[in-house]
Homo-oligomer: A and B are copies of this chain.
Amino acid sequence: MDRKIQIAVCGYGNLGKGVESEIAKNPDMELAVIFTRRKPAESLQTKSNAPVAHIGEALEWKDNVDVMILCGGSKSDLPEQGPLFAKDFNTVDSFDTHAKIPEYYAAVDDAAKAGNNVSIISIGWDPGLFSLIKLYGGSIIPEGKTYAFWGKGVSLGHSEAIRTIEGVEDAVQYTIPVASAMERVRSGENPELTTREKHERVCYVVASQDADKDIIEKKIKTMPDYFADYDTTVHFVSHEELKANHAKAMHGGNVIHTGITGTGNKHVIEFSLHLDSNPEFTSSVLIAYARAAYRLSAAGEYGARTILDISPKLLAAEEPEELRRKLL
């Protein structure tokens, strides 16, 4: 095997730790460095023996890194880091603020083009693999409709929203798809489903000893955007129970495309994910697309890309000839 693809991780939160643990399963890749905001960088405790450096010194690593995986958050890290690092590195990120993707794409595209780099944005499962299935479904059966369901899974945003309520010490929120709604979709009925009909929300809340649980429950259930439009159930539990039964960052979901051909023949295309660890899975998708970024850059391409642009074969460690033999 040739020299391994040298990967940098930028940010050592859940995603960065996921890249660190999963990269070893890819024999053609190697973790070159972990960049952190911490000062001094050496104070960061990591699991691997990869070098650690301060994010402000990233440029010094330019010649030793093939692809930088940006593992920061979409709210404040990536809007800044995406365009910044695309100037100097091939990058992959999981920017997932759906409404702002066109604007983010444009900013990263400008930077990547200026730096002659490839930057693959918004990688993961939604946006990401779910987007792919929507594209395949809609392109193959145009006379049809695509539905997405999320869960059962932990929504970090909703869990955090509960924690902002006075008297709440901790909380975990599950998004759960309504099974009967999924069955209606699979039947090819093409239903119009309201927000409430598609998902329910179940909350496990640790209240402080003197808190009024009725008030907390009411505040959760009436919270606009987050809960008001859903059937929401609230369970009060102890810290111990929350830790014992609700600590896994599980998630997943289903994309279902149904449509018609000929004189009314129904077709159902369905894709589902059941993930014990949402961040470790997302990290694994990022790693596969880092391989693609490396290959595209090596082939002389540059600019921003999304999952919709990337040839499937670019994700696989195996050679195209072996893939054809094994998979077709």
Contact = CB atoms under 8 A, between A and B. Distances in A.
Interface residues of A, number: 66
A266 interface: yes
A270 B267 contact: no
A309 B317 contact: no
Number of copies of chain A assembled together: 2
Contact of A261 (B266, B277, B306): B277
Interface in A86-119: 98, 101-102, 105
Nearest to A21: B262
Contacts of A141: 281, 284
A316 B309 CA distance: 11
A292 to B, nearest CB: 9
A134 interface: yes
Given A98-B328, A308-B327, A315-B136, A274 B268 contact: yes
B324 A102 contact: yes
A135 B266 CA distance: 27
Given A261-B280, A276-B265, A308-B311, A327 B139 contact: no
A272 B315 CA distance: 22
Contact of A136 (B101, B275, B283, B312): B312
A129 B136 contact: yes
A323 interface: yes
Contacts of A51: none
Given A262-B21, A269-B273, A313-B135, A306 B281 contact: no
A135 B327 contact: yes
A288 interface: yes
A158 B261 CA distance: 25
A83 interface: no
B320 A308 contact: yes
A325 B102 contact: yes
Contact of A288 (B132, B139, B311): B139
B262 A267 contact: no
A310 interface: yes
Given A22-B262, A261-B281, A270-B271, 18 more contacts: A26-B142, A101-B324, A131-B328, A135-B315, A135-B327, A139-B317, A140-B315, A261-B276, A261-B277, A262-B280, A265-B275, A265-B276, A267-B276, A268-B273, A308-B313, A308-B324, A308-B327, A309-B313
Interface of A: 18, 21-22, 25-26, 98, 101-102, 105, 122, 127, 129, 131-136, 138-143, 186, 248, 261-262, 265-277, 280-281, 283-285, 288, 291, 306-313, 315-317, 320-321, 323-325, 327-328
16 contacts: A22-B262, A102-B325, A133-B271, A135-B323, A136-B315, A140-B281, A186-B274, A261-B280, A262-B280, A267-B274, A269-B272, A270-B273, A308-B311, A309-B311, A309-B320, A310-B312
